[in-house]
Chains A and B, each alone.
Chain A
Amino acid sequence: MDYNKTFLNYINTIYSSLNSEESIASNLRNTNMQSINQKGLPTHRKGNEEWKYTNLNRMTELTYSNDNIANKIAYESINTLKIDTFSTLNISNGELIDSNILDDNIKIRNLLSNTLTKEDIAMFNSTLDGVNEDMAELNSAICKDPIIIDINNSNSEEKSKLIINIFNINNSDSYILNSPKIFINIAGKSNVEIIENHIGGINNLYTSNSVLEILLNKKSKLVHYRLLEDTDESIHINTTRIKLMDESNLQSNAFSKGTKLSRYDLKVITSAENSYSELNGLYFTSRKQHLDNYINIDHIAPHCTSRINYKGILNDESHAIFGGSVLVRKGAIKTDSLQSDKNLVLSPKAEIDSKPSLYIFVDDILAGHGATAGNIDENSVYYMRSRGLSLEQASKMLIEGFAMEIIDKVENNTLFDFLLENYVKKLPSYKFDF
């Protein structure tokens, strides 16, 4: 059976229902719907490096319903991260449902509240370049409620802090498809901290195909946290594009728990000189989960520094992937880039495909990359046991220690504690196949 065809029919149904309304987004949707209909979905076929290890059949073979209305009551019952000092934006099934903005420097506009202008619409997809961005096009074709967040605190001493909750609620037995779409424009010299939290109702069935675009203007600074807390049975696809202007500074920290299928497609584009970006990631997979990190840096401008530091812990029969590349273009002289992915594979049936790559088209740069995969170090376990720790205790401490290297980068205390409670404490305690 051709699942892709059935799935595309479903997309076209959603598209038609959206475009029957008068909307300033109709052009955006139309262009992208045409493109998707023409190209189809990304395939798993040989030679398609970007999708080599991920088969979207896991998403398309599911039974979908068209009943993805935002459900305000349901999301309020979901227990998730709350921080008093942060403004909050709640998105449910792709619609902005409410917000609690504590900071005048954060301005929000969205399609469904009729606050979005034609100029705003032109901002969407401006950081995308269309190469391998089929899933972003799919999002653009059927996004219900594009949201723009403007943050300008250049005149303030205070950091602007925002939690964006992306809820997915579905009480039916068939899947729904949500397409949240967010553009964040951070003004020059602004200092911002954003927590992007993907979450669903307990055991709810859904596919979330979200797009996040961020523009970091001159001398601005962003600490971005991404929490993947979607349900076990969910499909999570996210395309994030971050454009860095002169002297901007990005720290991106992605904490992911596996789901039925998840793919995080991140690209950072250094458009102007002297930017700094640090991309940290920690992912855990278990059971038959499939998690794909596709992490890219496109070095266009000279004198930019980038660091990629991802770590994975794999258990049971799960499959994780670290792919993507650092591209250093011809003009990007004096680039300084390091890319690393390390994995702890706790089960003989778990699989990691770690393939960081580096493409350099200019001399006079510093660049390096590396990947590792292995079980817990036997000699470390022996050392710890010789101090009286049991095998279980020793391995648990080593697994936690492996994760702590990334969690230690979190400076926000509430979030740090949340990660200890929700990630570190839930790690498998030990596995041995020595």
Chain B
Amino acid sequence: MSKTILEIKNLHASVEDTKILKGLSLTINIGEKHTIMGPNGSGKSTLANVLAGNPSYTMNSGEIIFMGQNLNEMEPDIRACAGLFLAFQYPVELPGVRMWQFLKSSLDSKREYNGEKPLSTREFDNVLNEYAEKVGISSDFIKRNVNEGFSGGEKKRNEILQLSLLNPKLAILDETDSGLDIDALKVVSKGIDSFSSDENAVLLVTHYQRILNYVKPDFVHVMMDGNIVTSGDKTLALELEEKGYDWLTTK
């Protein structure tokens, strides 16, 4: 297998006729952790949503190759089954949809796509309980409706639970750290850290340097006005923390 998981070439994308991404290119190889930082409105979340296949976003031109396949031709559920995962900035509440049923169906879909049999109820419960414990989600939550009445921190933990369960090739985390208190941030960071291995890759979209104290990126990219303006290693994040983004605009 090729070592490249994701290759974005000259990507232009828009939402409701507003052009957001303007010729972005990025390559992510297996085993790498990338971070995208940037001010509000620079297009970070747009990139995450275009990759996951959000129907509200339109890809105008360019190319995205994920695991050797043309991503733009794949429905969002096929992207997920093929190993792409997006942890949402605002996880959606699903009234009346039980967590257990949702998680089981998600994993079953992915297994079916890979030609595997669905797990039995007992097998699934064992796996689920193990991961739920790791991210600090109690078994009571599993009986509840998806994200309904969950606190901000609980929703984010739930995203990490789904990440662990679905074990994707590429995990995109869209501001998963925002709105978290320090304890929740540690749990979430630990979740990302224990997921990350030399068999997958992480793309962490964030506003703050804070989470990078826990999740150490190999590459830091800075986005402004729909494009990556500079890339570096984690020292770039520290520099941004100190100087802000303004110095880049005048660069």
9-residue interface stretch from A181-189, A202-210, A374-382: A374-382
Cβ-defined contact, A398 with B166, below 8 A: no
Smallest distance from the beta carbon of B159 to chain A beta carbons, Å? Answer: 10
B145 touches A (CB below 8 Å): yes
Is B194 in contact with chain A by the CB < 8 A criterion? no
Chain B residues in 8 Å Cβ range of A378 = 55-56
Contacting residues, chain A, for B79 (C-beta < 8 A): 386
Query: Which residues of A approach B to under 8 Å, CB–CB?
Result: 377-380, 382-391, 393-394, 397-398, 400-405, 408, 434
B138 vs chain A, min Cβ distance (A): 20
Interface residues of B in 106-147 (CB under 8 A from A): 106-107, 109-110, 113, 145
- Give Cα distance in the complex from A388 to B168, angstroms: 11
B86 contacts the other chain (CB 8 A): yes
**Given A382-B54, A393-B105, A397-B105: A387 in contact with B80 (beta carbons within 8 A):** yes
Q: How far apart are A185's CB and chain B's nearest CB, in angstroms? A: 37
When the two chains form the complex, which single residue of A388, A404, A405 contacts B110, counting CB atoms closer than 8 Å?
A388
Smallest CB-CB separation from B101: which chain A residue?
A397
Partner pick for B94 among A384, A390, A434, CB 8 A cutoff: A384
Query: Which one, B54, B56, B166, contacts A387 given CB within 8 A?
Result: B166
- Chain B nearest CB, measured from A403 CB (Å): 7
Does any Cβ of A come within 8 Å of B75's Cβ?
yes
Beyond the given A380-B92, A397-B94, A401-B145, please list 14 additional residue pairs across the A-B interface where CB-CB is below 8 A.
A382-B53, A382-B54, A382-B56, A386-B77, A387-B77, A388-B77, A388-B166, A389-B102, A390-B77, A393-B109, A394-B77, A402-B95, A402-B96, A404-B96
Which A residue's beta carbon lies closest to that of B75?
A: A385
Contact of B76 with A by CB under 8 A = yes
Whether the Cβ atoms of B95 and A401 lie closer than 8 Å is yes
Chain B residue at minimal CB-CB distance from A379: B92
Are the C-beta atoms of A389 and B96 separated by less than 8 Å? no
Task: Report B45 CB to chain A, min CB distance, Å.
Answer: 14
**When the two chains form their complex, are residues A380 and B105 in contact, meaning their CB atoms are under 8 A apart?**
no
Q: How far is the CA of A82 from the CA of B179 in the complex (A)?
A: 52
In the complex, which residues of chain A have a beta carbon less than 8 angstroms from the beta carbon of B97? 397-398, 400-401, 404
| Main SS class of interface, A | helix
Chain B contributes a number of interface residues (CB within 8 A of A) equal to: 31
Chain A residues contacting B81 (CB-CB under 8 Å) are: 388
Given contacts A397-B97, A405-B96, contact A385 B53 (CB under 8 A): yes
Q: Which residues of B contact A (CB under 8 A)?
A: 52-56, 75-77, 79-81, 85-86, 88, 91-92, 94-97, 101-102, 105-107, 109-110, 113, 145, 162, 166
- Give every chain B residue within 8 A of A393 (Cβ-Cβ): 105, 109
Q: Which residues does chain B contribute within 8 Å of A389, judged by CB atoms?
A: 77, 102, 105-106, 109
Most buried by A among B81, B96, B145, B162: B96
Q: Are B96 and A400 interface neighbours, CB within 8 A?
A: yes
Q: How far is the CA of A197 from the CA of B192 in the complex (A)?
A: 53
Contact yes or no, B52 A386, CB < 8 A: yes
Contact of A380 among B94, B113, B162 (CB under 8 A): B94
Q: Is the CB of B109 within 8 A of A405?
A: no
Instruction: Determine whether the beta carbon of B166 is less than 8 Å from that of A397.
Output: no
Residues of B within 8 A of A402 (CB): 95-96
The reply to whether A388 and B95 form a contact with Cβ atoms under 8 Å apart is no
Most chain A CB inside 10 Å of its own CB: which residue of B55, B76, B86, B106 = B76
Q: How far is the CB of A270 from chain B (nearest CB, A)?
A: 30
Residues of the B chain whose Cβ atoms lie less than 8 Å from the Cβ of A401 = 94-97, 145
Q: Determine the chain A residues whose CB is within 8 A of the CB of B145 once the complex forms.
A: 401
Closest to B93 in A: A380
| Residue among A378, A380, A408 with max Cβ neighbours from chain B (10 Å) | A380
Nearest A residue (CB) for B105: A389
B114 to chain A minimum Cβ distance, whole angstroms, is: 11
Q: Once the chains are docked, how many angstroms separate the CA of A385 from the CA of B77?
A: 4
Contacts of A391 in B (CB 8 A): 75, 77
Assuming the contacts A378-B55, A393-B109, asked whether A388 and B96 have C-beta atoms less than 8 A apart, the reply is no
Tell me the complex Cα distance, A393–B81, Å.
14
Chain B residues with CB under 8 A of A394: 77
Report the bound CA distance from A70 to B244 in whole Å: 85
- The distance in angstroms between the C-alpha atoms of A262 and B92, with both chains bound, is 36
- Indicate if the CB atoms of B109 and A388 lie closer than 8 Å: yes
Residues of B within 8 A of A408 (CB): 96
Pairs A–B under 8 Å by Cβ, sample size 9: A378-B55, A383-B91, A385-B80, A386-B79, A386-B85, A387-B77, A388-B81, A388-B106, A401-B96
Rounded to whole Å, the gap between the CB of B35 and the closest CB of chain A is 21
With A382-B54, A393-B105, A397-B101 given, is the CB distance from A387 to B162 under 8 Å? yes
Which chain A residues border B55 with CB–CB below 8 Å? 378, 382, 434
CB-contact partner of A386 in B86, B101, B105, B113, under 8 A: B86
> CA A167 – CA B166 in complex, angstroms?
51
- Other-chain contact of A403, B92, B94, B96 (Cβ < 8 Å): B96
Contacts of A385 in B (CB 8 A): 53, 75-77, 80
Chain A residues near B88: list those with CB within 8 A: 383, 386
State in angstroms the CA–CA spacing of A356 and B54 once bound together.
Answer: 36
Q: How far is the CA of A390 from the CA of B95 in the complex (A)?
A: 18
Q: 8 shortest A-B CB distances, which residue pairs? A: A401-B96, A388-B109, A404-B96, A388-B80, A383-B92, A385-B76, A401-B97, A387-B106
In the complex the two chains form, what is the Cα distance from A390 to B80 in whole Å?
Answer: 10
Q: What is the CA–CA distance of A299 and B58 in the complex, to the nearest angstrom?
A: 54
Contact yes or no, B96 A384, CB < 8 A: no
B95 & A405 in contact (Cβ 8 Å cutoff): yes
Min Cβ gap A226→B in Å is 21
- Nearest CB in chain A: distance from B70 CB, A: 18
B142 to chain A, nearest CB (A): 15
Residue of A nearest to B96 (CB): A401
